[in-house]
Structures are given as C-alpha cells and as structure tokens.
Structure 1
C-alpha cells in the first residue's frame, strides 16, 4: 500500500498542517523545555540542542513541502531517534512521542513506513524511559506503547478512509469524464441536426422555390412556343434568370461565394425586385408599400425568405388575383405583411415545411409569424422581427 505525503496547494491542507505545527510546538518542544528548566548540567543542554534540531528539521520539511530538496523520510528517522533520545534526557518523555506520532503518518509514503518509523520512536521512548527511571515498564514506557498501538490503529483507519475517498474521487472523475464525453458527443450530434435543419430550410426557401418557378415557367413557355413567341421569349429569359439565381444560391450554401449575396443593402429594393419577377411570371396584380428602411443582414434575409415562401404558396395554392405586400418599421421592430385574395385555408389543419421554416427562421431572431386565413377569404401572413429583443 502506497500513499502520497499530505501535501498540496489546497487551502484546507495548508491550514491543517499549520495548525498541527502550532500544536506540535506547544505540546511537544515547549513542555519539554519547561520541564527541564530546573535541571542543571550537560543533559539539560543536550536536550535543548536536540529539541532545536527536531524543530529546525520540522520547519525545514514544512518550508520545502513537496520539493525534492528535502526528503521527509530522512527527517522521520531523525525524529524517531530524537524522540527516543529525548526520553532519556531532562524534560523528555512519552508526551513528545505522542504529539509527534501524526508526523509519521503525514510525511511517510506508505503505512508500512509510518508503522516502522513510529515503532522505532516508540522503542526508543521505552528504552529512554528505562534509562531515565531505572525500570523497564515505567509510566512513560506504558503510555508510549499504548500511544503507539492507538496511533497505528488510528493511522490505518485514516489511511483506509483516505484510500476510499481517493478511489471514490477517481471513480467520480472517470464518470465525470465519461459524462463530459457523452455530452460533447450529444452537442456534436445536436449541432449536426441543427445544421441539417438549417440547410434543409435554406434549400427549401431558395433552390426548391427556384426550381418550382422554372418548372412553371417552362410549362407556360412550351404552351406559348407557337402562339405567343414574344411571351415565350420573356418566359425563357425568366427561366434563365431564375436558374442563375439558383446557381448563386447553391454557391452560397456550399460556401464557395461570399455570404450575404441573397440580400443586398436595401431590403426594399430586394423585395421590389422579387415582387416584380413574381408579377411578371404569374400575371397577378401586386400592390406593394416598401419604404426604404434600415435593418441588419439577418433581418433582411429573413424578410426576403418569408416573402419568397409566401409568394410561392400564393402561386401554388391560393388561386389569387391580387397580392398585397406592406413593409413597415414600428417602435418595437420591423413588420412585413403579405395578403392575397385567394381561396384561403384552415390554418389549424395546415402543415408544411414552408410555414414551419418561416416560424423557425423568425424565432431565431426573436420574432414571430402570424398566419390568418379562412376558406374563401384569402390569407394574411404577418412577420414580426424585433429590434430591441422583444416583439
């Protein structure tokens, strides 16, 4: 069984060792000095010199705790022999041995070393007491043996508790590392899911809408190829323009073109071009109020995507004759309203990727989408995007 000395930078360890050092001085060397102050002759000075060596050694070990400059086991040998020698000198006795016992368990690297060196100190204390008092089992000797036995039992118990604590800490550390790994993996998977959803939304709002327009325009151009060649030419030009825009959007999605190309500096100008293309392709009347308002890039893109999706729904489902678009700035943010006079629908029964995509896109900006419609009464789509964090 091995253990590390009780060292470390933790505040509680430093405080514990400081308190023990104070207790050792007050209950060990100081009583020994006071106990021998009335004695005279050479033994008294030997005792003072030996106490000074022990105190200096302990101070050195504490000052360089955790450093390779000082070997704690060497000091423990000095302590074990010194405590035994002190038992034979004036002022010495079992008290110094008892108060020094924790040092063997604090500084030794294994319980075996602590037991052996504290046993040397106990034997030295018994021998010294025998020399001083002239009897083998004096009170000091018995007290030292009892203290040694209690110290071994208590030390082994504490060592066992420390081992269990360390094992529990290692187990908890392994569990924490595994949890962190699984959490990181979950975050990675969640990020991948969110990225797939973002790409799906972008593809639906851009490429899919563009391809749908190309299909409708191509069918119309084929039917007008002989009867209305001029109109067919305009439709072919529109197909070409839509295809170019889809190509640009595809480059943006794969990251081979600068971001932001889908939304120029002026949101009004962007929406106006979109509505002009829609009116030209469908022949519907478009009534637009598009003041030139300032907004950031993400807001411009969100407004454009909501407009494109709403117009695509009008083209495919509404059978409308008129579309109205109103862009306005209010104190709380920006609003975009798109209405049509088409067949309408029951909002609660409508499920589609387009509406869900618009709601998600606006929610990412702290905004909201409101859809109002009823059968035969047309549809109203209201997109609200805040400028101060709340709609």
Structure 2
C-alpha cells in the first residue's frame, strides 16, 4: 500500500480539529452534516425503491427487507449521528456497537433481496469515520462480502449470478477501501491545515497584542521623558525660586524681585510646554525659532544664567534631532541647578559639524560618581533620547571638579 494510504491512521469523522484560540471559523466538515443527512436519506430511499420494484424474490420477502432497512433510519438518528459528531475514537465501544447494529439489520435484508446491497453506499462511510483505518477496511469487507454469501445460501442462484454478485462485492470493497483511505487522508490534511491556520491566527493575534503593548510602553516612556524634561523640571525650578524668594524678601528685595520675574517666566514657559504636549507640537522654545535661540532662552532662565557658545555652520536640522539637543540642555541644566551647588556656573556649547551635532553642558559644581547607580530618571532618559536618535551620550564627572555632559547626534 502506498504512503498516502497508511493503515495505522486513527478514526476520522465529519467534524473538525481541536479548536485553538483565535480560530476564524468552524471546520468545513461541521457545516457538512446537513448534506450528509440528505445523502443518507436519498441512498436509503433509492435502495427501498429498487427493492420494492424488483421481480425477485416474492413481495413478502421484499417487504421484510424494506422493513429491516427502515430500522436503519432511527438507528442512525439515535445512535449513529451523535457518534459522528464526537471526536474521533472518543466512544470506540459505542462505535463498534453501532456498526454491528447496522450489520445486523443489513445482512438479513440483503440476503432477502439482492437490491438491498445498494445501501452499502450509505453504510461504508461511517466505518471509516468511526474506526481506525485497518479495522474500517475489515468492517467494510464484511459489509461488502457477507451479504452476497447470505443471498447465495438462501436462494441458491445460478453460478453465473453468484459470480456476478461476488465480483460486484469485490469491486465495491476495493472501491470503498481505496477511496475511504484516500478521503481519510484528505480529511487529515484538511484538519492539519485548519489547525495550522488556527495557530497562525492565534499567533497573529498574540503578535498584535504584544505589538500594541510595546507601542503603549514606548509611548509611556516617551511621555515620561517629555514630562520629566519639561513640566517636572519647570515645577522644580519654581519650587527652588520660591525658596530663594522667601529667604531674600527681608535681606535682598531686589534679588527677590528678580527671582519673582524669573518665576513668572518659568510658569509661562511651563504652561507653553504643557500646551505643546497636549497638541503634540514642537517644544515651546523651538516653536518658530532656531535651536541656538531656544538654547539661549533656556540658559537665560537658569539661575545664574548659563553661558552659551555656538560654533560651526548653523543650519536647521531635523525637528526630532533639535528636540533631543534641547532636552539634553534642559536636563543637564536642571541637574546642575539641583545638585551642582549654589556657586556653580554652567556653560552650554553647540558645535555644528558636517555630519554631527555635539551638545556639551559643563558646570563647575561639586560633581558626582557617574558609575554609581542613579536613583532618578533624568540621566537614563537623556541616554535613551540620544540612543533613539542614533547618537551617543557621555557623562564625565569627578568630585569637586564639576560635570560635563556630551551628546553627539548624527546629522542626516
């Protein structure tokens, strides 16, 4: 027997494979049971008509054969059809009993009237649906060959009629075995493909879910950086200015007024940044201006104001690149204001090269150990921004010598 007609296959049925999460629809065989019921009914009706329309044997024998065949209908509806809807092999004992019942009703009917063998076309498929292939072939052999033996023993027909009957049974058996095995193979391949499609659908849904989660996580990271570098830094500056004003009101009114003006400017800047975040527009300092102008405005709001130097061929860059450069300056100046000390001075440098922009922020503060774990979000976000833009970030600092932050960004 060829590889396509293996005999160690499990039983098959007119129902689909196990369901997988994400399967798009039911298997085609689940939707084919209506036509299968119709097929069974048509074969039964045609068999009954041939039996009743025959000339031999006498009418009482033909009526008895039809009566036996009629019992196959409720037997199929009560015992057979529910089995065909189960998973293959789920009720092997019940399947054997159902097929034995078919044989018990079919053999005497076919012995009484040879035309009753026509119903073999309805009795053969359940053998292959409910039994393993090897046993299904054996059952089909009994369905095809025993009726001829019973008919020949009962009526003692001429030898040529027996020969024709045996030949027809052998052909029926060979046809049923071959096509039964072939159809089982087709069903198996269909089930495998359906399972594969269901798994692919489930995988696609999982990929879509993970992609959505990844997108949401990336957006949260972006918003966290934006809020940290804009609103959070602005509120921190406001808090520091409030503390400074409280200590200067009685001792240095002029300096307190200067800090109050700086508080107002910082508050307006924070409001503008909040609006930019809501609308998804450019940072307030970059809106309608160049990167050097935005850095100068940022440096002017620092207390004390930071020095700014710009070298190279100043030109408009990609908006995303200018945002990274500006946020680098904001984060570095904010860290200097919080950690460098009140006497620290800051300087910002923008160096435009042919293929890269270098942003450097230096302070003369107390410094820190860059290798030590950083509890805050700022330096991690600064490095992440630079990496997303294809650049690098370097932090050089030692105790009592200040800190230098250098970010190099490629110009494309």
Normalised to the residue count of structure 2, the TM-score between the two structures is 0.57
Kept in 2, the 8 Å contact 1:272–1:290? The answer is no
Is 1:329 the counterpart of 2:352 in the alignment?
A: yes
Unaligned runs of at least 5 residues, structure 2:
1-12, 16-38, 44-123, 127-139, 149-158
Is 1:288 the counterpart of 2:290? The answer is no
- What residue is the counterpart of 1:154 in the other structure? 178
Question: Secondary structure of the residue that 2:359 maps to in structure 1?
Answer: strand
Is the contact between residue 269 and residue 284 of structure 2 (CA under 8 Å) also seen in structure 1? no
Query: Larger RCO: Structure 1 or Structure 2 (Cα < 8 Å, ≥ 6 residues apart)?
Result: 2
Q: Distance in 2 between matches of 1:306 and 1:316?
A: 16
1:208 has 2:232 as partner: yes
Residue of 271, 285, 293 corresponding to 2:295:
271
Match of 1:165 in 2: 189
In the TM superposition, residue 237 of structure 1 has moved relative to its aligned partner by 1.4
SS of residue in 1 equivalent to 2:371: helix
Contact 2:285 2:297 in 1 (8 A): no
Deviation at 1:149, TM superposition (A): 2.2
The superposition leaves residues 157-208 of structure 1 with CA deviations (integer Å, 9 ceiling, x where unpaired) of 1111222222222223223222222222222222222211111111110011
Instruction: Give the whole-Å Cα distance in 2 for the aligned partners of 1:222 and 1:330.
Output: 45
Per the alignment, in what secondary structure is the counterpart of residue 343 of structure 1?
Answer: coil
**For residues 57-87 of structure 1, what are the alpha-carbon distances to aligned partners after superposition, in whole Å with 9 as ceiling and x for unaligned?**
xxxxxxxxxxxxxxxx9xxx9xxxxxxxxxx
Following superposition, the deviation at residue 222 of structure 1 comes to 1.9
Q: Which residue of 2 aligns with 1:348?
A: 371
CA RMSD after TM alignment: 3.8
- Return the match for 2:278 from 220, 232, 254: 254
In the alignment, what sits opposite 2:250? Answer: 226
- Per the alignment, residue 336 of structure 2 pairs with 314
Q: How does 1:24-173 map to 2 (within 5 A)?
A: 111=125, 135-136=160-161, 146-173=170-197
C-alpha distance in structure 2 between counterparts of 1:262 and 1:183, whole Å:
39
CA distance in 2, matches of 1:356, 1:266: 26
Q: Aligned partners of 1:259, 1:336: CA distance in 2, in Å?
A: 19
Deviation at 1:339, TM superposition (A): 1.5
Q: How far is 1:288 from its partner?
A: 2.6
Shift in Å, 1:367: 1.1
Segments of 5+ residues of structure 1 without an aligned counterpart are 4-72, 78-109, 124-133
Q: Which residue in the other structure is 1:187 paired with?
A: 211
Q: Is 1:361 matched up with 2:388?
A: no
Kindly indicate whether the alpha-carbon contact (under 8 Å) linking 1:263 and 1:270 is maintained by their aligned counterparts in 2.
yes
- Provide the rounded CA distance (Å) in 2 between the counterparts of 1:190 and 1:361: 17
Q: Count the aligned residue pairs.
A: 273
Contact (CA 8 Å) 1:347, 1:371: kept in 2 or not? yes
Give the corresponding residue for 2:198.
174
Q: 1:190 to 1:220 in 2, by over 3 A?
A: same
Q: Distance in 2 between matches of 1:324 and 1:157?
A: 84
Cα offset for 1:290?
5.4
Superposition deviation, residue 260 in structure 1: 4.6
Q: Deviations over 1:214-259 (max 9, x none)?
A: 111111122222333232222111111111111121222233x744
Separation (CA, whole Å) in 2 of partners of 1:181 and 1:329: 46
Query: Cα offset for 1:323?
Result: 2.1
Structure 1 length-normalised TM: 0.60
- Is 1:236 aligned with 2:260? yes
SS across alignment from 2:208: helix
Residue 311 of structure 2 is aligned to residue 302 of structure 1: no
CA distance 1:253–1:287, shift in 2 (3 Å)? closer
Distance apart, 1:150 and its partner CA: 1.9
Distance 1:338 1:175 in 2: 54
